[in-house]
């Protein structure tokens, strides 16, 4: 089911699509591939929206920096100095976070209107990112398919092909609040990651892979999330062909649980400490499945290179339950 959600200043219409299955209702926008809402029941059967979103298009246009629910790319997370080498050539990107490039640049995938077509139990979003967009090389054809499976789990599957060597890292930037409102720091997180990537003052990885043991980064046993996180965790499973469960977020107050399964090697935990009005710091928790930040500048990190003839594939599944 689709409806007109708003119109951009150039007259481009933005539509909202509603998916519903197994007691789960998800709303997705053609603008930015944004997951606007996810409605699921608590342990008493009361339904609430458990992600942060704006009620209208103006909210997303006026407050773009939190990337609420957005499909981020062409490169999710940060690239240091807005530059990276590829095949002996240095590429300069559009910096939008101090000297660095964050989530694809000033007009990344989160600020583009995607073509949308219905598929069985879901939607397929597609667009072509032209050669040179935000400084990235190659004409990139991208699809992102959002579906609800028989259990009500939300599955996001990405594919991309290019006509020239490039780098790709796609993710979803949904903020979860399983209580439906208020501060999310009391949620409990379990994360299958024995290492993380330490960062400098600009949140750029140093290149080290540090052990979480004995530190505040150890979520291998579930505990309260708290605050102060904007870090990439190195998932123990690495890159996999099919999505494997790597995280569980639990809200003791409502009993709601969201699990995260992915093919990706990393997960960025962001506790939203810098959210501003109409939200407050800590109102949501982002669990961004991804390759590592600044990978193009760290040859030892899993590669994000994509070449002609190859296909970028990534899948993440969010499962919902109560206890």
175 is in an annotated binding site: yes
Q: How far apart are the C-alpha atoms of 278 and 37, rounded to whole Å?
A: 16
115 is in an annotated binding site: no
- The token pair at 96 is 């939008």
230 is in an annotated binding site: yes
173 is in an annotated binding site: yes
How many other CB atoms sit within 10 Å of the CB of residue 200?
Answer: 9
What SS3 state is found at 197? coil
Dump the DSSP string for 117-172: EEETTEEEEEEEE-TTGGG--S-EEEEEEEEE-TT--EEEEEEEEESS-EE-B-EE
173 labelled catalytic: yes
* Catalytic choice (103, 173, 187, 291): 173
Residue with tokens 């004995």: 214
110 is in an annotated binding site: no
Contacts of 282 (CB under 8 A, 6+ apart): 183, 184, 185, 227, 271, 272, 273, 275
CB 291 within 8 A of CB 315: no
- In terms of residues, how long is the chain? 323
CB 226 within 8 A of CB 211: no
Q: In sequence order, which ranges of 40-178 are alpha helices (DSSP H)?
A: 57-62
CB 144 within 8 A of CB 156: yes
* Catalytic choice (134, 248, 264, 288): 288
288 labelled catalytic: yes
The catalytic residue positions are: 173, 288
**Binding-site sequence positions:** 77-78, 173-175, 230
* Binding region for beta-D-galactose: 77-78, 173-175, 230
């Amino acid at each position: 089911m689709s409806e007109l959600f708003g119109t951009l200043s150039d007259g481009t219409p933005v539509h909202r699509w509603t998916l519903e299955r197994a007691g789960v209702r998800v709303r997705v926008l053609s603008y930015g591939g944004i997951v606007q809402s996810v409605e699921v029941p608590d342990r008493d059967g009361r339904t609430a929206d458990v992600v942060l979103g704006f009620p209208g298009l103006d909210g997303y246009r006026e407050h773009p920096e939190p990337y609420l629910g957005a499909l981020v790319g062409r490169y999710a997370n940060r690239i240091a100095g807005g530059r990276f080498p590829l095949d002996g050539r240095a590429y300069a990107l559009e910096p939008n976070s101090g000297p660095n490039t964050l989530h694809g640049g000033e007009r990344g995938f989160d600020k583009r209107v995607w073509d949308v077509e219905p598929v069985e139990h879901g939607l397929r979003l597609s667009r072509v990112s032209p050669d040179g967009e935000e400084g990235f090389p190659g004409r990139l054809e991208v699809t992102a398919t959002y579906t609800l499976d028989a259990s009500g789990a939300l599955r996001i599957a990405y594919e991309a092909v290019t006509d020239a060597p490039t780098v790709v890292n796609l993710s979803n930037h949904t903020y979860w609040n399983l209580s439906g409102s208020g501060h999310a720091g009391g949620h409990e997180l379990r994360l299958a990651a024995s290492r993380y990537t330490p960062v400098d003052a600009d949140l750029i990885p140093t290149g080290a892979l540090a052990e979480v043991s004995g530190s505040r980064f150890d979520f291998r046993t579930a505990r309260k999330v708290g605050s102060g996180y904007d870090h990439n965790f190195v998932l123990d499973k690495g890159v996999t062909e099919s999505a494997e469960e790597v995280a569980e977020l639990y809200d003791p107050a409502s009993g709601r649980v969201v699990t995260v399964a992915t093919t990706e090697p990393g997960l960025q935990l962001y506790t939203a400490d810098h959210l501003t009005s109409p939200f407050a710091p800590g109102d949501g928790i982002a669990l961004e499945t991804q390759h590592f930040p600044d990978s193009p500048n760290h040859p030892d990190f899993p590669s994000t290179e994509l070449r002609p003839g190859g296909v970028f594939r990534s899948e993440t599944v969010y499962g919902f339950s109560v206890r």
